[in-house]
């Protein structure tokens, strides 16, 4: 026995303990997601230079092609998410897939930097959007598989902070490097982040036994086997045996049959619609009503994003302890008065008064309150997705195959989020164009209240390894 133990230690790769530790896996995935968001926004300050000086477009077309360039990202993410999730769950090693995606990100970055024709610019953006979406989906599922879905609240809080930091840092870093060293210096900085990411992923070692599988394999606490033995074959109603694997459209049907998953997806969609409406109308509205410019718009956007960066960690910890039902419902119900009050300045509800100082204070105060409440919605979709997978796997082990279904479930939430970001500006354009800004805010208030009711009724409590799982799953 001692000899076998020594041989196993000898066969272990160098630094196996720290290379496969939760801390190193989290750091590696965190850097990956930060780099992904940084590169996604890195191009924005460089677009005028690329479009006008490298491609040769007239300045009058810069705004049009900038909007098309940015819209391409959301559209490609929506279309590619289901395929990325299916591929990620099918591969045997997430590490290999992550490394391939990173190389593709490097290629797409080179394509964007070298583009001298419009077609190559959009081709580079197409592959950048696919790799960016895939990096987020695979990164989230990798952390869920290696750390355990019971930590999904903290994972979602971390990714929220990384997303906001990367999105904010990308344009600033690109502009700074461009001013200091020129066009190619800026792109060299982007390549440096990618190379560091490649090195860390080569070092990282995935765990052989996932945390959510440990009790099933070892059965140390004796809770899993009685639970599984006493469960009636309720998931076999579709005519699928206990050993059959659910794939394709049946996978998505199975997920949406679980109330907590459908409710989480809808709440995530409403969250994205709210963000999309705020971002698409903010600059035009405050310029028309208050005469504010870019600096004021930047401060207001910081009021929306800042609380999420600061509160992401404590909110994630809280959701891991008490679940996402109460925080999500409180946030959505609390948004109603602030969203409606946001539309009062400039609405003409107080004729003859004009724009008063209190209206400016009201607008800024409502925006700050909305930012704090939105931080409670972080990760509502992804948490319900991973918990639903755990619940279905507990009732019917192997239902989603040997690789599980985390990636496909998270891909659905990613697709929902991007769809909401697309629907938000469209809704804003329709309502503001035909009615007004105040009417838009009333629509968002009704939408938020409806989502709050759904969250209160259908969102589940944290997943526990107990006989309560049956009631939670089919409530």
Instruction: Evaluate whether residue 232 is within a structural domain.
Output: no
Residue 347 lies in a domain: yes
Which pLDDT does position 31 carry in this prediction?
Answer: 81
- Return left, alpha or beta for 245; rule: phi > 0 is left, psi -120 to 50 is alpha, else beta: beta
Q: Could you tell me if residue 234 is inside a domain?
A: no
pLDDT in the model for residue 274: 92
**Residue 455: both structure tokens together:** 């969250």
- Looking at 207, 234, 269, the residue that finishes a domain is 207
Q: Tell me whether residue 229 is in a domain.
A: no
At residue 355 the predicted structure's pLDDT band, cuts being 50, 70 and 90, is low
The confidence score (pLDDT) of residue 351 equals 59
Q: What is the pLDDT of residue 456?
A: 92
Residue 346 clears pLDDT 70, i.e. is over it: yes
Assess contact for 286 and 300: CB atoms under 8 A.
yes
Contact 371, 306 (CB under 8 A): yes
Least reliable range by pLDDT among 62-71, 91-100, 333-342: 62-71
The verdict on residue 267 lying in a domain is yes
Calpha distance 309→164 (Å, rounded): 7
Choose between 242 and 428: higher pLDDT: 428
> Of 179 and 377, which is predicted with more confidence?
377
Residues 30 and 165 in one domain: yes
Q: Which helix (H) or strand (E) holds 255?
A: helix 248-256
Whether residues 176 and 30 share a domain: the answer is yes
Domain final residue, candidates 178, 207, 236: 207
Domain-located, residue 242: no
Domain membership of residue 6 (yes or no) is: no
User: Is 99 part of a structural domain of the chain?
Assistant: yes
Q: Which of 220, 211, 153, 225 is nearest to 375 (CA)?
A: 153
Q: Looking at the structure, do residues 115 and 24 belong to the same domain, yes or no?
A: yes
Tell me: the pLDDT tens digits for 163-174?
Answer: 777 776 777 777
**Structural domain boundaries, residue 334:** 247-464
Contact (CB, 8 A) for 292 and 341: no
Q: What's the pLDDT at 138? A: 80
Question: Model confidence over 284-340: pLDDT tens digits?
Answer: 788 788 888 766 776 787 788 778 777 877 888 888 788 888 999 999 999 999 999
Domain co-membership, 254 together with 155: no
Asked if residue 253 and residue 402 are part of one domain, the reply reads yes
**Cα dihedral sign, 73-79-82-83:** negative
Looking at the 3D structure of the chain, how many domains does it have? 2
- Write the CA distances from 306 to 17, 42, 74, 167, 372, integer angstroms: 36, 19, 23, 12, 8
For residues 194 and 265, membership in a common domain is answered with no
How many Å separate Cα 131 from the centre of its chain?
14
CATH number, domain containing residue 380 = 1.20.1250.20
CA dihedral 253, 254, 258, 262 (to 10 degrees): -30
For the segment 11-16, the average pLDDT, to the nearest whole number, is 71
> Do 167 and 25 belong to one domain?
yes
Q: Is the pTM of this model over 0.85?
A: no
Mean predicted lDDT score pLDDT of the chain = 77
Same domain, residue pair 317 and 183 = no
């Amino acid at each position: 026995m001692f000899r076998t133990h020594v041989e196993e230690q000898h066969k272990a790769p160098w630094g196996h303990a720290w290379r496969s530790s939760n801390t190193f896996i989290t750091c590696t995935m965190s850097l990956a997601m930060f780099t992904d968001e940084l590169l996604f926004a890195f191009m924005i300050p460089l677009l005028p230079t690329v479009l006008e000086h490298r491609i040769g477009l007239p300045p009058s077309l810069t705004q049009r092609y900038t909007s098309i360039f940015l819209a391409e990202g959301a559209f490609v993410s929506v279309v590619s998410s289901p395929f990325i999730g299916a591929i990620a769950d099918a591969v045997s090693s997430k590490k290999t897939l992550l490394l391939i995606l990173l190389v593709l990100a490097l290629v797409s970055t080179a394509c964007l930097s070298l583009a001298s024709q419009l077609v190559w610019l959009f081709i580079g953006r197409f592959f950048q959007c696919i790799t960016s979406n895939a990096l987020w989906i695979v990164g989230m599922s990798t952390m869920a598989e290696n750390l355990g879905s019971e930590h999904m609240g903290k994972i979602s809080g971390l990714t929220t902070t990384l997303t906001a930091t990367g999105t904010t840092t990308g344009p600033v870093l690109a502009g700074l490097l461009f001013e200091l060293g020129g066009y190619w210096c800026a792109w060299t900085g982007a390549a440096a982040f990618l190379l560091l990411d490649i090195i860390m992923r080569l070092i990282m070692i995935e765990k052989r036994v996932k945390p959510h599988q440990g009790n099933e394999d070892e059965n140390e606490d004796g809770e899993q086997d009685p639970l599984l033995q006493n469960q009636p074959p309720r998931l076999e109603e579709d005519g699928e045996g206990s050993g059959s694997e659910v794939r394709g459209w049946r996978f998505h049907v199975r997920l949406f049959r679980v109330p907590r998953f459908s409710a989480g997806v809808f709440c995530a969609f409403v969250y994205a619609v709210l963000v999309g409406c705020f971002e698409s109308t903010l600059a035009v509205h405050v310029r028309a009503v208050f005469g504010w410019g870019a600096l004021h718009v930047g401060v207001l956007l910081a009021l929306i994003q800042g609380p999420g960066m600061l509160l992401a960690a404590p909110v994630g910890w809280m959701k891991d302890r008490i679940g996402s039902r109460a925080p999500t419902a409180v946030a959505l119900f609390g948004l109603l008065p602030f969203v409606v009050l946001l539309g009062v300045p400039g609405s003409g509800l107080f004729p003859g008064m004009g724009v008063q100082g209190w209206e400016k204070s009201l607008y800024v105060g409502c925006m700050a309150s909305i930012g704090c409440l939105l931080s409670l919605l972080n990760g509502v979709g992804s948490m319900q997705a991973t918990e639903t997978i755990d619940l279905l796997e507990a009732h019917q082990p192997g239902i989603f195959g040997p690789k599980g279904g985390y990636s496909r479930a998270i891909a659905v939430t990613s697709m929902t989020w991007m769809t909401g970001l697309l629907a938000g500006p469209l809704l804003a354009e329709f309502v503001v164009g035909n009615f007004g800004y105040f009417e838009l805010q009333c629509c968002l208030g009704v939408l938020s209240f409806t989502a709050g009711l759904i969250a209160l009724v259908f969102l589940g409590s944290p997943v526990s390894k107990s006989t309560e799982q049956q009631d939670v799953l089919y409530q």
